[in-house]
Amino acid sequence: MNFFEHQAQARRNSQRLVLMFLLAVAAVVGGLMALVLLILRLGTEGDPQPLGAFAAANVEVLGWTAMATVLVIGLASLFKTLSLGSGGSNVALGLGGEAVPPETRDPKLRRLRNVVEEMAIASGVPVPAIYWLPQEAGINAFAAGYTPADAAVAVTRGALDKLTRDELQGVIGHEFSHILNGDMRLNIRMMGLLFGILVIAIAGRKLMRLSLEADDARAVAAGVAGGLAMTLVGYIGYFFGQLIRAGVSRHREYLADASAVQFTRQTQGIAGALKKLAGVDKGAKLDNAGREDVSHMLFGDGIGYSALFATHPPLVERIRQLDPGFVPSSLKAMAAAWNDPGFSVMDDDVPGSAVSALAAPESEIAFPAGGIGRQVGTPTDGDLQLAAIVLDSLPLPLCTLARDPAAAPRLVCALLLDTDPAMRPPQFEAIAGDQGAAFRDAVLKIAPQLESLHPSQRLPLASLAFPALRRLPPAEITRLLRSIGRLVQADGRISLFEYCLGRLLRQQLGDLLQPAAARPIGSVALDRLQAPIRVVFTALAQHGHASEREARAAFLAGVHTLLPRATLAYEPASDWHGPLDRALLQLETLAPMAKELLLEGLVKVLGHDGRVSVAEAELLRVICGALRCPLPPAVGEAAPTT
């Protein structure tokens, strides 16, 4: 299953989840209406009416009961969801998480940071906020957030102490699967909906406590009875909600395990982590009282649910999916060593050797025969090794700047400076106007350090800056967004790459400001968005080919591949960036499988002349980022220039 199929499934799961929770809400509403009807009937003197007639006579009261119940559940769900809307870091902090310092000297924390950064760069997404849970001795981890831009990854102390680098990489690969495949948004939605149903039971318990303080014995009895009934109805709804959550979560855990193998190209890491999870005394258990809310987000079952409510498949089944020859009895001998109080793993933090060096910008790219869509959201071991090379090759002073909240905005602005120094004065004026002279001088000082960077290093460097940018106040992020927009346009000319990089940064920073406002997975068909497709194909053809004749032919080849029955005209424009900006916003609403087809059409446009340079491939990558289809750093395979 590729990225687009995962996305389509996540969308179906989300729709199914909402439908099933609506049924659970309907059951709660029906239960409370029946309770009100019973109370009214018990309070009626004389011969009772037939039940149907009695209900009809009290239809207004029952209607208000239903409306009030739906309103309470809806507002409680909305409150819980909004409380999580500021990003994944709040979830980590709520469980006692601590941010991993950017320049930590602790070897285990440094290893965690390296593994997460490598996985992010290999995936083509911003580096998530990185946390560890120092009080948790169990082996566990989770990813939380609405989008990759506001994601946080957290790992327990037990995982850091007991997992090797390969095992930790397998666990992080599992969590990145949730980040890339749209699971995090679904997780937060589940938390909100479950809380909405549970609030009826909470209200019932509150009513019982208040009723016990009343002076009138009849009021006490009525209040306790009513509260008890509300609690019972609420927990019945919550019971079904838990069953729904468990069913959805178990299936996604199998997919995430498989994705971890696909990312790392080896089963020993993720399988070894699961075996230790099964063998150590503490297992995956978390001690924090708030763990139940996030149980479906965890790498392993941190609660100890019964089989009925388990949010994770049985460990033995998960291990056998990865290692068919696994014998559970073999754990006993290994577990004795793992459970020794002095046991701790710290292997050398050295990634595998590189499979290729960074290709020169003038090199050409050969796209894989299976289609470029197979690379989206699916980093391989080669991508991980290349990410390690890129990360290791970045100058240490620039990495230090990227990880510093005070310096990261200056670095991001410096990355957007024109490659021609003669064109930079208007950009420096724009920076000074928005950010002040001191900020401009800092950017001016950083600029020479960026001149030696390979094109493939610029986006990874920007990605490293995101954990620091997340720590900025919203007003500073807003000002930085404005500065990025002005920087792109200040020199009077906008290259396609400059535009796309600026737009990608604006999109990701916008997600930091309002994570919950990020668009969910789209559902629009290709034929409904022919106009924006024409704009994007035109821009790519215009900037990727030497002559207008070649550009027109490339445009038509892409259109014929994607929309064979459409008659779209190639109409290049000098003022292309405004229409392209609007087109990408519209294309973001495409259904996942439609995006895969669109991506193949984009490749057809770029490669029509038989030459796709690394620079052009980078353009494809950042445009895909704008469509929320992250590509790894090595798009296709580098081929020698002929």
Q: Output 338-345 pairs: Cβ under 8 A, ≥24 positions apart.
A: 338/162, 338/276, 338/279, 338/280, 339/279, 339/280, 339/281, 343/161, 343/162, 344/161, 344/162, 345/161, 345/162, 345/163, 345/164
pLDDT at 354: 40
pLDDT at 437: 93
pLDDT band per the 50, 70, 90 thresholds, residue 313? confident
Total residues belonging to the chain? 642
Looking at residue 423, the DSSP 8-state letter turns out to be G
What gap in Å lies between CA 564 and CA 584, rounded to an integer?
A: 21
Q: In this predicted model, what pLDDT tens digit does every residue of 16-39 receive, in sequence order?
A: 767 777 888 888 888 888 888 877
What gap in Å lies between CA 619 and CA 627, rounded to an integer?
A: 13
8 Å CB contact between 602 and 540: yes
Q: In this predicted model, what pLDDT tens digit does every residue of 138-184 receive, in sequence order?
A: 899 998 888 888 888 999 999 999 899 989 999 998 888 888 777 77
Q: Which residues contact 175 (CB under 8 A, 6 or more apart)?
A: 141, 142, 143, 153, 256, 299
Q: Other CB atoms closer than 10 Å to residue 235's CB: what's the count?
A: 18
8 Å CB contact between 312 and 301: yes
8 Å CB contact between 572 and 528: no
8 Å CB contact between 401 and 410: yes
Rounded to the nearest 10°, the torsion over CA 551, 557, 562, 568 is: 60
8 Å CB contact between 553 and 605: no
pLDDT band per the 50, 70, 90 thresholds, residue 48? low
List residues with catalytic annotation: 175
pLDDT at 223: 74
3 state SS of 154 = strand
Picking from 40-54, 59-73, 558-572, which range would have the lowest pLDDT averaged per residue? 40-54
For residue 639, pLDDT over 50 is answered with no
pLDDT at 443: 93
| pTM (two decimals) | 0.77
Q: Give CA 372 to chain center in angstroms.
A: 21
Tell me the CA distances in angstroms from 32 to 40, 192, 222, one per residue in order. 12, 21, 15
Q: In this predicted model, what pLDDT tens digit does every residue of 196-218 receive, in sequence order?
A: 888 888 888 888 888 777 777 76
8 Å CB contact between 603 and 620: yes
For residue 347, pLDDT over 70 is answered with no
What gap in Å lies between CA 511 and CA 519, rounded to an integer?
A: 10
pLDDT at 154: 93
Given the structure tokens 């994570």, which residue do they identify?
515
pLDDT at 147: 81
pLDDT at 157: 92
pLDDT band per the 50, 70, 90 thresholds, residue 358? low
Identify the CA nearest to 81 among candidates 95, 91, 93.
91
DSSP 287-333: --GGGGGGGGGBSS-SS---TTT-SS--HHHHHHHH-TT--GGGHHH
Q: In this predicted model, what pLDDT tens digit does every residue of 385-442 receive, in sequence order?
A: 878 888 888 899 999 999 998 999 999 999 888 878 888 888 899 899 889 999 999 9
Q: Other CB atoms closer than 10 Å to residue 350's CB: what's the count?
A: 9
Given the structure tokens 């100890």, which residue do they identify?
304
pLDDT at 553: 92
What gap in Å lies between CA 157 and CA 414, rounded to an integer?
A: 37
What gap in Å lies between CA 270 and CA 279, rounded to an integer?
A: 14
For residue 46, pLDDT over 90 is answered with no
pLDDT band per the 50, 70, 90 thresholds, residue 89? confident
Q: What is the mean pLDDT of residues 631-641?
A: 57
For residue 568, pLDDT over 80 is answered with yes
Q: Which residues contact 463 (CB under 8 A, 6 or more apart)?
A: 120, 121, 125, 126, 127
pLDDT band per the 50, 70, 90 thresholds, residue 1? low
For residue 598, pLDDT over 70 is answered with yes
pLDDT at 47: 63
Q: What is the mean pLDDT of residues 115-137?
A: 89
Q: Other CB atoms closer than 10 Å to residue 277's CB: what's the count?
A: 27
Tell me the CA distances in angstroms from 142 to 187, 298, 629, one per residue in order. 11, 5, 22
8 Å CB contact between 107 and 346: yes
Average pLDDT, the chain: 80
